[in-house]
Amino acid sequence: MPLMEQGACEAVDVLTRQQLAGLRLHPHRPLLICDVDEVVVRFIDALAGWLQRRNLRLHSDSWALEGNIRDAHGVPVPRAQVGALLDAFFRQCTADLPLMEGAADALAQLVREGVQVVLLTNMPHPFRRARQRNLARHGLNFPVITNSGPKGPAVRHLRQMVRQPAAFIDDHPDFLHSAADHCLPSAALHLLHFVPDNPFVPHLPPMQAPHVSVRNWGEAAEVLHRLLVLPALKRHAGASARAAAP
């Protein structure tokens, strides 16, 4: 999703570190690390509607929220107020965001095929429980890790917890690049760029790291089955054959 400007620090913050420390993953199951806003839930549509009810409009003249939230006369909301607006939106709407089409079915199918899912979302930590409630209402009872700043350090930590294939899917190229910087090439990690259907997409910064682009969860499910499920099944079959050999 379009973001407010962030600092360049690439360290896991204290609260994210605490959440990661409490997470338990199975080392011998493939892993999907999944963004939430504009990948699993429709953040932009909900934000635009919420702003409209306050006589504000969400424009899409750049890949940013600053300058694009404007009053009825087209005057941008001062940058100092954008953070307060987003805080109010998260507080009032996080628990009720609509699901991205196909997300629940695709993720459920991947879980049935043995993939474990962790949701890594950049949002204020105090709204983590509201996000969990929102996702649980849609049947998505996965671990939720809230993060601030680049996602590479958190993705690296999660990648190191499993020995099977892993993938990271996000709509923001900068987060995918951060993951690539921290995980590639030493730790095998598949990068999926989820390109949502929203008016900000033409302003996306270019993807530089090796990746696969997907535009919906139907495409994502096919790619993830190929990258995560099939290799894990092949390894399991090979291990079983070796164990059965005299």
> Concatenated DSSP letters for 122-179?
ES-GGGHHHHHHHHHHTT----EEEE-S-SHHHHHHHHTT-SS-EEEEES-HHHHHHH
Distance CA 58, CA 136 (A): 28
For residue 71, the enclosing domain spans 43-96
pLDDT band at 233 (very low <50, low <70, confident <90, very high): confident
Q: With contact defined as beta carbons under 8 Å apart, do 122 and 151 qualify?
A: yes
Q: Does the residue 1 lie in any domain? A: no
Q: Which amino acid is at 89?
A: F
The total number of structural domains in the chain stands at 2
Q: What pLDDT is stored for residue 238 in this prediction?
A: 53
Distance CA 59, CA 26 (A): 43
My answer on whether 178 and 63 are in the same domain is no
pLDDT band at 39 (very low <50, low <70, confident <90, very high): very high
Q: Does the residue 2 lie in any domain? A: no
Q: Which of 1-10, 119-128, 163-172 has the lowest mean pLDDT?
A: 1-10
My answer on whether 84 and 28 are in the same domain is no
My answer on whether 176 and 136 are in the same domain is yes
Query: Rounded mean pLDDT of 42-57?
Result: 97
% the chain with pLDDT above 90: 83
Query: Mean pLDDT of all residues in the chain?
Result: 92
Contacts of 80 (CB under 8 A, 6+ apart): none
Query: Rounded mean pLDDT of 57-67?
Result: 94
My answer on whether 147 and 188 are in the same domain is yes
My answer on whether 153 and 51 are in the same domain is no
Q: Determine if the pTM surpasses 0.95.
A: no
Flag whether pLDDT at 45 surpasses 90. yes
